[in-house]
Amino acid sequence: MSDVDLRKLRYFVAVAEHLHFGRAAERLFIAQPVLSRQIRALEEELGARLFARDRRGTALTAAGEQLLIDAEPLLAAAEALQRRVIRAAEGTRTFTVGFMPGLMVTGAVRALTERHPGLTVDLVRTNWDDQVEVVHDGRVDVSVIRLPVEPRGLAIRPLYSEPRVVALPADHRLAGKEAVAVTDLADEHLLQDPALVPEWTAVASELRTDRPAVPVFHSVEEKLEHVAAGLGIIFLPLSVMTFYTRPDIAYLPVPDLAPNQVSLAWSAQRPVPLAEEFADLAVQ
């Protein structure tokens, strides 16, 4: 098999996102026949059919679904590589920091730039689903993360831990309490992966029968909208609570819930200058 052409990969992602060759061609500013030929060439290079096309429309095959999963971080890594090379050619020193909602990195960033005049620090907001992905694909040099994560390929430095709270609708029967125990929440519906809250999992009523599907949310805001609508509860680190105060949601301490560990992660596969120094500053 020949090396994968990144241009063809970008064409594939466009078609996969639109599931329509015409609209994808318009977005890419190329003719549809050209796009079709490029996709056929990619399929030949990979030795797999990526799209199933019939009168009803266009759909991804199993091979296409797998390629889409792998293609997006690969393209992001290629773009990050290009940015780093261009900045190096321009003589620009940069350091990029990823951070999760609720986590403040201002103090460490200021301290780093004071130590290194001329250094440009960029900030990238991340979420649960990409907090380490941005490290692997090179979009950031370091990422302030919340555990647990898959540690393979990462250097991880613990920074601090913080308590977690439960988010409930403001009119919930427990909303007026000063604190609750995990057992008080055993009959609630959890709007996040139960594996992230083993204390709740051990007592949860809904897990004694059929395990419910874990909803997929891409932001804290989405989760809180569902909580406010009375569709379930979520557990959040304390700093996220202070960042997202709203009148239709009550936050209560859960003393018997293990705290959330905040850490700094960077690639163990390539040199990351200033990572250790930034970690020292973040701890301080």
The whole-number pLDDT of residue 88 equals 67
Question: Can you state the angle between helices 106-115 and 275-283, rounded to 10 degrees?
Answer: 130
Q: Which amino acid is at 22?
A: G
Catalogue all structural domains in the chain, each as residue range(s) with its CATH number: 6-70 (1.10.10.10), 92-160+261-283 (3.40.190.10), 164-258 (3.40.190.10)
The whole-number pLDDT of residue 1 equals 46
Distance CA 211, CA 195 (A): 12
**What are the pLDDT digits (tens) for 34-85?**
889 999 989 988 989 999 988 778 899 999 999 988 887 778 777 777 776 7
Integer CA distances (angstroms), 232 to 16, 185, 221, 249, in order: 33, 11, 14, 12
3-state secondary structure of 208: coil
Which of 82, 202, 62 lies closest to 139 in space, CA to CA? 82
The whole-number pLDDT of residue 233 equals 96
User: What is 129-176 written as a DSSP string?
Assistant: TTTTHHHHTTS-SEEEEES----TTEEEEEEEEE-EEEEEETTSTTTT
The whole-number pLDDT of residue 87 equals 66
3-state secondary structure of 237: strand
pLDDT < 70 regions, the chain? 1-2, 84, 87-88, 90-92
Distance CA 183, CA 189 (A): 13
**What are the pLDDT digits (tens) for 153-176?**
899 999 999 999 999 999 999 999
Scanning the structure block, which residue is given the tokens 């370091």? 142
The whole-number pLDDT of residue 111 equals 96
Query: Could you tell me the pTM of the whole model?
Result: 0.69
Please name the residues in contact with 55: beta carbons below 8 A apart, sequence gap of 6 or more.
Answer: none
Integer CA distances (angstroms), 142 to 114, 188, 262, in order: 18, 36, 13
Scanning the structure block, which residue is given the tokens 């609750």? 180
Alpha carbon 39 to chain centroid, angstroms? 29
- Please say whether the beta carbons of 269 and 225 come within 8 A: no
The whole-number pLDDT of residue 77 equals 73
Alpha carbon 80 to chain centroid, angstroms? 17
The whole-number pLDDT of residue 188 equals 94
Distance CA 9, CA 145 (A): 29
- Please say whether the beta carbons of 233 and 190 come within 8 A: yes
Other beta carbons within 10 Å of 82: 11
